[in-house]
Amino acid sequence: MAYTDILYEKKNGVAWITINRPEVRNAFRTITVAELTDAFVDARWDPAIGVVVLTGAGDKAFCSGGDQKERGQGGYAPGAASQRPMDLGGEGRSGAEGAGATSRPFNRPMDVEALHSAIRHIPKPVIAMVNGFAVGGGHVLHVLCDLSIASDNAIFGQTGPRVGSVDAGHGTGFLARVVGEKKAREIWYLCRQYSAADALVMGLVNKVVPLKDLRAEVEKWCAELLDKSPTALALAKQSFNIDSEPRAGVAQFAHTALGLYYQTDEAMEGRNAFVEKRPVDFKKFRK
């Protein structure tokens, strides 16, 4: 399959999915999300694949979240930055199946929810190989992976309230399950950046290694996983998912709400400040 924004390689039972936009710290745009979803669906149904690794190209970033330059007043979609809010239409299809990244024109809004669903519902372990910044929607992606292995230069954090965005679905609720309520609120409200060492202490990652050893370490974990019973792993993953599955309903609601929030001047102030490289000023929006 020909992808433009990701690399997709299958080797020795492992599917390696790499966001390939290092020039923007592997920020995802609409087509990136569609391609990622398509690759996860492919890996799900390929019996030769037992483990999936998600990573970013280069040595600076895993993923920096939504591409702020594609975001318009209404959200992310091809050409959205120059469209009116209502041109972006309503909610798209939900769920991972049939993303059809390479077979359909990209004339619809970004479907992050489908990607989240694809990561959670593939009945195989997904490892986030975090090789630099994992921030904003990129941080949510690693949190949703089953395991996270980070390089010692990795930086973690949410940025939403700083850039006029919030993933109030899995982004908030699932993070709280991982690091606890107090820490999750701190991460979301203050938008600070955390080191790999911090992440290890708070249980946000499973292991930290020097950047030069990252790939080998992940390959080691993959080999261990590939020796295990695939059905037992699938049942364990699905069992772990059950308790947080109601969050998927919240995620639908949260994404609809986010679409409305994106239409406001307040949300655009966050986006514009980032793109214009200036301090953000939300003071006038206080109620």
Provide the binding-site residues for ligand S0N, judged by CB under 6 A.
Answer: 24-25, 27, 64-69, 75-76, 110, 112, 133, 135-137, 140, 159-160, 163, 165, 167, 171, 255, 258, 274
What are the tokens at 164? 């006029």
> Least Å distance between CB 19 and ligand S0N?
11
> Least Å distance between CB 173 and ligand S0N?
12
DSSP code of residue 56: E
Q: In this complex, which beta carbon is closest to ligand S0N, that of residue 49 or of residue 150?
A: 150
> Least Å distance between CB 221 and ligand S0N?
26
Q: In this complex, which beta carbon is closest to ligand S0N, that of residue 125 or of residue 171?
A: 171
Among all residues, whose Cβ is closest to ligand S0N?
A: 65
Q: In this complex, which beta carbon is closest to ligand S0N, that of residue 135 or of residue 179?
A: 135
Q: In this complex, which beta carbon is closest to ligand S0N, that of residue 50 or of residue 137?
A: 137
Q: Which residues pair with 208 in a beta bridge?
A: 150
By CB neighbour count within 10 A (0-12 exposed, 13-18 middle, 19+ buried), where does 144 fall?
A: buried
Total Cβ atoms within 10 A of residue 286 = 6
Q: In this complex, which beta carbon is closest to ligand S0N, that of residue 38 or of residue 221?
A: 38
67-97 per-residue burial string, b: 16 or more CB within 10 A, e: under 16: bbebbbbbbbbbebbeeebeebeeeeeeebe
> Least Å distance between CB 47 and ligand S0N?
31
DSSP code of residue 66: B
Total Cβ atoms within 10 A of residue 202 = 16
